[in-house]
Chain A
Amino acid sequence: MTESDIITAIREELARMAPEIAFETLDPAADLREQADLDSMDFLNLLTALHQRLGVEIPDADAQALETITGAVAYLARKAAKSPET
């Protein structure tokens, strides 16, 4: 799984819940939830979708690491590299 795969996954899952957001205009270093107006249910659904789609474990305690796009890509890439391919 490449970083580009991860970005594609985030973009597509975000488009499902916030179709009016232009992904390219988001600041990857800023809080995604503030920028995309995601509430706690939206954010949990985003984590659920990324977990199921990418097969990466995202413990609740790590959820904060995914609050920016940059943070999410780094976290998911690191976790994917650690877990064996199935």
Chain B
Amino acid sequence: MISFRMPSLGADMEAGTLVEWLAKPGDKVKRGDIVAVVETQKGAIEIEVFDTGVLDRLLVEPGAKVPVGVPLALIRAEGEAPSLAAPAPIGGTAVAAAPAQGPAPTPIKPPAPAPFLPAEPHVRISPAARRVAAERGVDLARVTGTGPGGAIQLADVETAASPARPAGFDFTQMRAAIAAAMARSKREIPHYYLSDAVDLQPAADWLARTNAERPPERRLLMGALFAKATALAARAYPEFNGHFAEGAFRPSAAIHLGVAIAIRGGGLVAPAVHDAADLSLDDLMAAMRDLIGRVRGGRFRSSEIADPTLTVSSLGDRGVEALFGVIYPPQVAIVGFGKAVVRPWAVDGTLAARMIVTITLAADHRVSDGHRGALFLADIGRRLQQPEAL
């Protein structure tokens, strides 16, 4: 029997609140499956399992706040006997309850039973939705459910509770999480900064040609080229890709590129696009689009938030020409892309109007030096001169 535990979703996380189970006892699970939603300072995060087997028993009920490392559920290997009597067959709409018999440990309960609110009797309401509705005074009869069969889920209640803000975010908590991470970064990491202005005209021309015949859903954004160029350069300069922990730098073989995403209403998160250097531009763009959509909707996965190995932050086509990032610990570098602007630029000895972007690097001086940083930054700029090779 394998314990599925509350994961650590960042160095600053000590505990999380289980919001919702997305799997029930008896369900087959495999590595990467999303089985639960946990509320942290970073918002609601979908939690993936790392093991393959059958979900045997849930040990924690929605609403309970549990420390990192505490078992949330038991997973049994294929063929292994269940810990108790086999779970009763689950009907189409029934919700599995934790087994009540046997020597099972008492499930961890929420601190206080959630009061019930009157609602349409035939509408299914998830426990987490009911609890949050009670906390925020939302009338469940007025909430439109988007779950299976019109079931009211947590996100529906949150949408109803705060129509002006995306679901899943607690802005006070997010600000506190950013404050903790950035204060730690500036306290512990000796940053050095480099900046380079790069001719973006070849990439802009290539992008315009590529997008000309494509419908909007298949178009690329310059941000995808920036991400790919950075990921490829990180492969050549491994001292910028990895984690610094317990006094030592551990380079990462995988390049999980954190993408800084601004949240409407304030705050930001930088979850990872996994194996960014191995993705084609189209796949990378699709991954970024998917990630940004889910983040703005308040849902992303545990592995995405926990394991970026290098972050990019891009201002897009609005804003200012340069941004100097603050490294997100335990990472050791962040690459910034400013707004691209048209500037007079010498090309082959002739002055021309060209699109120019300022690329910056903030890196950890405990791990690398300015000389290597400059080579890394220049490599990103050089790769952008050959966009067809990205």
Chain A positions within 8 Å of B, measured between CB atoms, are: 17-20, 33-34, 37, 39-41, 44-45, 47-48, 51-52, 57-61
Contacts and interface: CB of A to CB of B under 8 A. Distances in A.
A12 to B, nearest CB: 14
A44 B219 contact: yes
B265 A20 contact: yes
A53 to B, nearest CB: 11
B264 A40 contact: no
Contacts, number: 51
A25 to B, nearest CB: 13
Interface in B130-171: 163-166
Nearest to A61: B212
Interface in B251-306: 262, 264-265, 288-289, 292-293, 296
Interface of B: 163-166, 208, 211-212, 214-217, 219, 221-223, 262, 264-265, 288-289, 292-293, 296, 316-318
Max count, chain A CB within 10 A of own CB: residue among B166, B222, B317, B318:
B318
B212 A60 contact: yes
Nearest to A48: B216
A36 to B, nearest CB: 10
A41 B223 contact: yes
Interface of A is mostly: helix
The 4 closest A-B pairs by CB, nearest first: A48-B216, A60-B211, A20-B164, A47-B216
12 contacts: A19-B163, A20-B264, A34-B318, A39-B262, A39-B316, A41-B221, A41-B223, A41-B289, A44-B216, A60-B211, A60-B219, A61-B212
Max count, chain B CB within 10 A of own CB: residue among A18, A37, A41, A59:
A41
Contacts of B215: 48, 51, 57
B216 A51 contact: yes
Contacts of A17: 296
A66 to B, nearest CB: 10
B208 A61 contact: yes
Given A45-B293, A60-B212, 20 more contacts: A17-B296, A19-B163, A19-B165, A19-B166, A40-B221, A40-B222, A40-B223, A40-B317, A41-B288, A41-B316, A44-B219, A47-B216, A48-B215, A48-B216, A48-B217, A51-B215, A51-B216, A58-B216, A60-B219, A61-B208
Contacts of A41: 221, 223, 288-289, 292, 316
Max count, chain B CB within 10 A of own CB: residue among A37, A40, A57, A61:
A40
Contacts of B293: 45
A33 B265 CA distance: 15
B165 A20 contact: yes
Given A39-B318, A40-B223, A52 B164 contact: no
A45 B289 CA distance: 9
Nearest to A40: B316
Contacts of A20: 164-165, 264-265
A33 B214 CA distance: 22
A41 B292 CA distance: 8
Contacts of A60: 208, 211-212, 214, 216, 219
B216 A37 contact: no
A60 B322 CA distance: 26
B143 to A, nearest CB: 16
A53 B265 CA distance: 27
B264 A18 contact: yes
B313 to A, nearest CB: 12
A83 B211 CA distance: 21
B210 to A, nearest CB: 9
Contacts of B165: 19-20
Nearest to B296: A17
Nearest to B262: A39
Contacts of A40: 221-223, 316-317
A55 B210 CA distance: 22
Contacts of B212: 59-61
